[in-house]
Amino acid sequence: MPRFGVVLLSGGLDSTTVAALALRQGYQLAALTFDYGQAQRREVAAARRVAALLGLSHYVLDVRVFRQLAWYSALTQPERFALPTDRRPEQMATDVPITYVPLRNTLFITLAAALLESRALQAIEQAGVMSAEVDAAVFIAANALDYSGYPDCRPEYYAALAETLRRGSKLGAHYGVPLQVETPLLHLRKAEIVRLALEVGAPLALTWSCYAGGERPCGRCDSCLLRAHGFAEAGVPDPALGADDEAPPSACSG
Distance between CA atoms of residues 186 and 69, nearest Å: 27
User: Taking 60 as the threshold, does the pLDDT of residue 190 lie above it?
Assistant: yes
CA angle at 162 for the pair 43 and 129, rounded to the nearest 5°: 95
Mean pLDDT of 230-239: 96
Least confident of 99-108, 188-197, 198-207, 211-220: 211-220
Q: Which of these, 109, 104, 102, lies nearest to 162 by C-alpha position?
A: 109
Please report which confidence band the pLDDT of residue 244 belongs to, taking 50, 70 and 90 as the band edges.
very low
Q: In degrees rounded to 5, what are phi and psi of residue 188?
A: -100, 140
Q: Where are the domains of the chain?
A: 3-252
pTM: 0.91
User: Mean of the pLDDT values across residues 191-199?
Assistant: 97
Q: Report whether 187 contacts 145 (CB < 8 A).
A: yes
Q: Of 127-141, 187-201, 212-226, which range is least confident?
A: 212-226
pLDDT, tens digit, 9 for 90 and up, residues 31-50: 999 998 887 778 999 999 99
State percent of the chain over pLDDT 90.
75
CATH architecture type of domain 3-252: 3-Layer(aba) Sandwich (3.40)
What's the mean pLDDT in 118-142? Answer: 97
The pLDDT score that the predictor gives to residue 91 is: 74
Residue 128 CB contacts under 8 Å (≥ 6 apart), including other chains: none
The predicted pLDDT at position 245 comes to 52
pLDDT in tens, 86-97: 887 777 767 888
SS3 231: helix
